[in-house]
Amino acid sequence: MSALPAWAAENMTITFIRHGQSYGNLSGLGDTSTPGPTLTDLGQQQAKDIAAKLGDRNFDAIYASTMVRTQQTAVPMSQYLGLPITVLPGIQEIEAGMYEGTPERAALFGYLTAPLAWAGLSVTPPPNVSFNPITPNLDAFIPSAPGSTTGLNGHQFEDRVNGALQTIYDNGDRNAAVFSHGGTIMIWTMMNAKNLSVEQKIMLFTQHPLSNTNYVVVEGNPEDGWNLVNWNGVEIAGMQKGPIEQVLTQVRTLSRQLGGVVQDVATAFKTGDVGKILTAINHGAADALFSTTKFARAINAQVIGGVTTAIDNLQKKLNPPAPASAGAKTTDPASGAVVSPAAFSAPAPVAAKAPAVAQAGDSPAKVGDTQAADPKSDQAKADTAKGDDVKADANAKADGPTKADAAKAKAEAKKAAAEAKKAAAKAKAEEKKAAAKADAKKAAAEEKKAAAKADTATAHATAGSGAGAGSTD
């Protein structure tokens, strides 16, 4: 990616993640109400799988919509990275209005008609279904009720999502995971990605619609706009970060987290409370260790990904595909749209991954624990929880530390401090006891010496008395 001018706003990467399967999805009926339905057991497992797949991207913040299903989906990622879930208004699902509770399969010709118009697309109804480019119409709206002339329009939708992204930017987060909804993610991306052609929009929407826990990566900023980087594995050519940019992103995340630790300790010192100071130091040490571990995990994953890509590229050079005829085009069977074969680069190869370490627990939505699964990852990842003894395996990633590990480390540190204090007190008591014993021994010796001296004096006195009596006779 080319360097930005010095005056350009700082870019950030947003990874949108659709929620896991909800009971609304299971019913097949649209439900855009708040807080909405919870996740099914499958949805809970999908949440763990996506945390295992994307967790080593080491996001610097986690956001979820006001709907309970996104908050529940974010829990395993929160536990894996030791980050809180921030509930963010504005990224909730597009309100269905009069289509609320209707079958999802019919959404294309009802609920989604206006949102597609916002993105510059129209759809021809059956029997000859096709997608056609139109001038984006943000005035189109989803009727709030049958016959209504009011409802959510494109301007309102655009403003609320952009406002949410502005909040993330203003918070200083530059590599955030944002748990949202299929309609919101797809429509906003097609409305705002500057590097998408109409043909690409049609291909993505028809051939790669977002299923539960699918993801989309965009990069940019609220001032300069956005580019699509990755649509659930479909990578946009020329938009991938180079190794140096990836490392710099992780360095920034690590620096920010360590800076937070320093700030917390400094704040504790200002109180002058020894207890608070020691607690801040213990917590800071555990947090710093965990942040460093996450950094190492992310860097290792990027190195392995780079090696895998290099090998892939080499194989393509050694075994080039048969050349296509000049100007060849292919027809999208789902839409009839003509799309260039070079519109997208091929998805990265998928590698096996070890079971996720994140365990679902209580969240803002009160999620219960479920057993961990054996998820697949789009790249082999390495666990670096053992510091300098890190060993990367390009085919699998071992379990990494979780938030529970950090809490355990804090508890261990606190326990060690208490034991050290107890040992010091015991040593001092032993020393005092030894000193008392030495004093008693010395006193006994002195007493014995005094007794001996007294005996000698008595003997001398007795001898003196006997001599005096003999002289008077």
The 3-class secondary structure across 246-289, one letter per residue, is: HHHHHHHHHHHHHHHHHHHHHHHHHHCCHHHHHHHHHHHHHHHH
**Nearest in space to 292 (alpha carbons), one of 174, 415, 406, 175:** 406
Q: What letters, b where the CB count within 10 A reaches 16 and e where it falls short, cover 224-240?
A: eebbbbbbbebbbeebb
Phi then psi for residue 73, to 5 deg, are -65, -30
Report how far apart, in Å, the C-alpha atoms of 315 and of each of 196, 235, 311, 378, 379 are.
29, 19, 6, 18, 17
How far, in Å, CA of 327 to CA of 341, rounded? 9
User: What are 207's two structure tokens?
Assistant: 């051939």
Orientation of helix 68-81 relative to helix 403-472, angle to 10°: 40
3-state secondary structure of 133: strand
Q: Which member of 93, 95, 104, 199 is catalytic?
A: 93
Whose tokens are 């006001």? That residue is: 66
Phi then psi for residue 87, to 5 deg, are -80, 125
User: What are 173's two structure tokens?
Assistant: 């987060």
Task: Look at the alpha carbons of 162, 167, 169, 175 in this order and tell me if their dihedral is positive or negative.
Answer: negative
Region of 94 (left: φ > 0; alpha: ψ -120 to 50; beta: rest) is beta
Q: Name residues whose C-beta falls within 8 Å of residue 365's C-beta, 6 or more positions apart in sequence.
A: 35, 38, 68, 69, 71, 72, 75
Q: Which member of 19, 95, 104, 219 is catalytic?
A: 19
CA 96 to chain centre: 30
How far, in Å, CA of 341 to CA of 330, rounded? 7
Work out the end-to-end distance of the chain between its first and last CA atoms, rounded to an integer number of angstroms: 132
Does the annotation count 19 as an active-site position?
yes
**Alpha-carbon torsion angle 153, 191, 136, 29, nearest 10:** -50
Enzyme catalytic residues: 19, 93
